[in-house]
Amino acid sequence: MQKVVMTGASGGVCRQIRPLLKGLWPELVLSSRRPPEDLAADETFQAVDLADRVAVDALLDGADGLIHMGGYSVEGPWEAIHEANIVGLYNTFEAARTKGVKRVIFASSNHAIGFYRRDGRIDHDVQARPDTRYGVSKVFGEALGSLYARKYGVRVFNIRIGNVADRPADHRRLSMWLHPEDLVQLIRIGLDHPAIVDDVVYGMSHCERAWWDNSHARALGYRPKHHAEDHVAFAMAEQAKLPPDPIGDQFHGGTFCSQEFDGGLADLD
């Protein structure tokens, strides 16, 4: 990899990993609609709206790899999610195809499988169970990546991210926390591993309480450095400050599941 582009550079996840990416490739170009407030003098930035296909083409000109973190990152109105995460993502994959980008890292989400219950463990091949319109957009992204991998030869690495932070913020996050350093390790695997075609892994550090079987990531060489159990006291103290959530507390997606919930799962497993 000579030139790598990262979208979503102004977002919370990218703010945490940008310092860790410096120097990994000869050229790293950061992009989002607005420059990060903490943009450093040694960082290269290009403002791009993903809904603008011409601008996305220009962004990916000459790129070898793409770390796609851009888009609408929470639940919201369909119009906003559609423009950023459906239209914008299609533009991004089309630009990657036409510009000859070799690898795409797609920041998928635990919300693509948010309606699985917490009393079992799932692997990376399970059926999608999105918990929100945002989750639906991540399922779409994984499906679009599969198309571009198998039809057009763009190698795609989907990371179903749990929660990126220096430490897990509550009881739920003890099961799906991802330290920034471990996310960077996954990104490097996705850009470098020769066997990547259209792969899905879970973005989590070493979480002893995990609901996800991440053996596929381990088969690709992933060895997380950080342990969620090191932060149990903090996470449980923070959990004690939260009100109970009768719906969200049952499912992987937490409060995303309880938003707008209207009894649809009363008789389902």
**Pair 36, 45: CB distance under 8 Å:** yes
Q: b/e string for 15-47 if b means 16 or more Cβ within 10 A?
A: bbbbeebeeeeeebbbbbbeebeeeeeebebee
The greatest distance separating any two alpha carbons of the chain, rounded to the nearest whole angstrom, comes to 56
Q: Which of 90, 134, 148, 202 is catalytic?
A: 134
Distance of CA 207 to CAs 98, 215, 240, 249, 254, Å? 39, 13, 20, 18, 17
The set of residues, in sequence order, having a beta carbon less than 8 Å from that of 46 and lying 6+ positions away, is: 29, 30, 31, 58, 59
Sequential DSSP letters for 85-99: IIIHHHHHHHHHHHT
**How far apart (Å, rounded) are the C-alpha atoms in residues 30 and 14?**
9
Q: Which residues pair with 44 in a beta bridge?
A: 29
222 has catalytic annotation: no
**Pair 200, 124: CB distance under 8 Å:** yes
Smallest CA-to-CA distance from 176 within 74, 251, 75, 242 is with: 251
Smallest CA-to-CA distance from 33 within 20, 50, 21, 19 is with: 50
> What size, in residues, is the chain?
269
Strands (E), 20-165: 27-32, 44-47, 65-68, 103-109, 155-161, 163-164
| H/E stretch holding 129 | none
Q: What is the set of active-site residues?
A: 134
